[in-house]
């Protein structure tokens, strides 16, 4: 028989069927979700449950209040009485209740399913599909904890089955979640973690001979090298991926990555050839179960290709072609339903459009292109966007316009943007994504 809760927090834990040990384990995940890096022991959790500790450290207070959507004073105070039950969760929005209920139901169903029950795999495949599409419209940090949880669930399921077919599906899922974690890690500015996750995704694809997963992982890896300003390594990785990549979307994405890397080295003709090859491969797209059917971050379509065209010609210093590519990308992104638009991609295109106009000497046009980007909250200021806008700032300082009023205004706005970027705001948010604790 469950003992009567001594505090509101213990009441929450009992409702969620969490022991003190499980509460302590989940505390770090809750901390990551609110941008903190904090751990507690099982002993500390028990002290909070009993009400023995009523003055937690400030960081613990922030995590508890974000996790349970109630003030710490209430959480560490007496539990609700039956008469309060109707308002027990008044602090949590209807949307949060629905989302949390769905996650808890899926997690319980997966854990309850036996290794022979295909329903657990169905839940995970559906979760991977939703995560890939959510990546387009969700800030990276809120996705991080869910992706870690889903990846770890896959690992748990792998330990429960020896059936080759189920293991193959689970390796595919592990590769998908690791790849998505690579993208999120890159957004958060942790190139080392992003590279580790991309390599893991490729390894899982190799184990099961899933060449689309391998090609996608290689494209992710090449992209990491691009943002690390290592174009030769990016070219090498992209070329290795092209060796076995299926025709269509997989090759299109790798050719586009190689085009940008070659452009960084000044190879105008070779970069143009790769862009043309990427466009050609998209004529064969549409039948890849991973990249085309699941979509989202797994996909690569005409809009993303146009983004790469604009970015490549910015690197080559060709203002008219860069602006044409960026403008086309915006048109294609805007033509989609709002829930399918890649928000970070649109913002990146706007920075490229600003760079193209800068190359063309249109400072007023630069400000207009950058306005939605510079107005972003820190949670959307990903590493890819920050990297682009830093390069634009360098171009501006090296140009003949650096003394102009508009240039000074743009430069100040860029400095403020990068100072409050996501990577700087949450520098160590990824510790648990590789299973390595913070030192």
pLDDT at 103 over 70: no
> How confident is the model at residue 430, as a pLDDT?
45
> How confident is the model at residue 429, as a pLDDT?
43
Find the mean pLDDT for residues 405-426: 74
Q: What is the tens place of the pLDDT at every residue in 289-315? A: 999 999 999 999 999 999 999 999 999
Alpha-carbon span 157 to 152, nearest angstrom: 9
Which class does domain 301-424 fall in? mainly alpha
Nearest to 351 by CA among 337, 333, 335, 365: 365
> How confident is the model at residue 322, as a pLDDT?
97
Least confident of 85-99, 246-260, 273-287, 380-394: 85-99
Provide the whole-model pTM.
Answer: 0.71
Angle at 383 between CA 381 and CA 384, to 5 degrees: 100
Contacts 24+ apart (CB under 8 A), 101-105: 103/146, 104/16
Range ranked top by mean pLDDT from 56-60, 163-167, 313-317, 342-346: 313-317
> How confident is the model at residue 94, as a pLDDT?
47
> Pick the residue with more confidence: 308 or 390?
308
Report residue 36's pLDDT band, with 50, 70 and 90 as the boundaries: confident
Q: What is the tens place of the pLDDT at every residue in 113-155? A: 545 467 888 999 999 999 999 999 888 888 888 899 899 889 8
Q: What mean pLDDT, rounded, does the chain reach? A: 85
> Pick the residue with more confidence: 81 or 217?
217
> How confident is the model at residue 88, as a pLDDT?
40
> How confident is the model at residue 374, as a pLDDT?
87
> How confident is the model at residue 226, as a pLDDT?
94
Find the mean pLDDT for residues 211-234: 96
Report residue 84's pLDDT band, with 50, 70 and 90 as the boundaries: very low
> How confident is the model at residue 108, as a pLDDT?
56
| Positive/negative CA dihedral, 219, 224, 227, 228 | negative
Find the mean pLDDT for residues 52-66: 85
Burial (CB count within 10 angstroms: exposed 0-12, middle 13-18, buried 19+), residue 122: middle
């Amino acid at each position: 028989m469950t003992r009567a809760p001594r505090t509101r927090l213990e009441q929450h834990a009992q409702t969620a069927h969490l022991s003190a040990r499980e509460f302590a384990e989940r505390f770090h995940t809750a901390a990551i979700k609110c941008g903190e890096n904090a751990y507690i022991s099982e002993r500390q959790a028990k002290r909070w449950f009993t009400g023995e500790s009523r003055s937690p450290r400030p960081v613990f207070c922030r995590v508890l209040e974000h996790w349970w959507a109630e003030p710490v004073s209430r959480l560490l105070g007496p539990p609700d009485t039956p008469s309060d039950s109707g308002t027990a969760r008044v602090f949590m929005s209807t949307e949060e209740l629905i989302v949390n209920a769905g996650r808890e139901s899926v997690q319980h169903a997966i854990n309850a399913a036996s290794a022979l029950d295909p329903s657990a795999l169905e839940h995970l495949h559906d979760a991977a599909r939703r995560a890939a599409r959510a990546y387009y419209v969700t800030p990276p940090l809120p996705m991080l904890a869910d992706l870690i949880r889903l990846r770890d669930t896959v690992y748990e399921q792998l330990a429960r089955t020896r059936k080759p077919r189920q293991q193959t599906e689970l390796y595919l899922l592990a590769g998908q979640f690791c790849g998505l974690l690579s993208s999120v890690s890159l957004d958060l500015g942790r190139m080392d973690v992003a590279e580790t996750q991309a390599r893991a995704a490729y390894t899982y694809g190799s184990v099961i001979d899933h060449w689309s997963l391998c090609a996608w992982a290689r494209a992710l890896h090449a992209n990491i090298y691009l943002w690390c300003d290592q174009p030769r390594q990016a070219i090498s990785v992209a070329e290795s991926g092209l060796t076995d990549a299926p025709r269509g979307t997989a090759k299109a994405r790798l050719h586009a990555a190689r085009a940008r890397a070659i452009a960084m080295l000044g190879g105008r003709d070779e970069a143009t050839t790769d862009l043309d090859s990427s466009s050609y491969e998209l004529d064969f797209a549409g039948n890849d179960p991973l990249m085309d059917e699941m979509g989202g971050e797994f996909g690569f379509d005409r809009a993303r290709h146009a983004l790469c065209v604009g970015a490549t010609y910015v690197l080559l210093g060709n203002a008219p072609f860069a602006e044409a590519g960026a403008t086309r990308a915006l048109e294609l992104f805007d033509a989609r339903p709002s829930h399918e638009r890649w928000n970070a991609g649109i913002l990146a295109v706007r920075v490229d459009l600003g760079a193209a106009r800068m190359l063309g000497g249109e400072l007023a046009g630069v400000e207009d292109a950058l306005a939605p980007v510079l107005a972003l909250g820190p949670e959307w200021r990903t590493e890819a966007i920050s990297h682009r806008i830093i390069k634009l700032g360098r171009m501006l300082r090296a140009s003949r316009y650096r003394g102009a009023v508009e240039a000074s205004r743009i430069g100040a706005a860029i400095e403020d943007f990068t100072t409050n970027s996501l990577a700087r705001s949450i520098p160590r948010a990824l510790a648990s994504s590789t299973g390595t604790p913070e030192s």
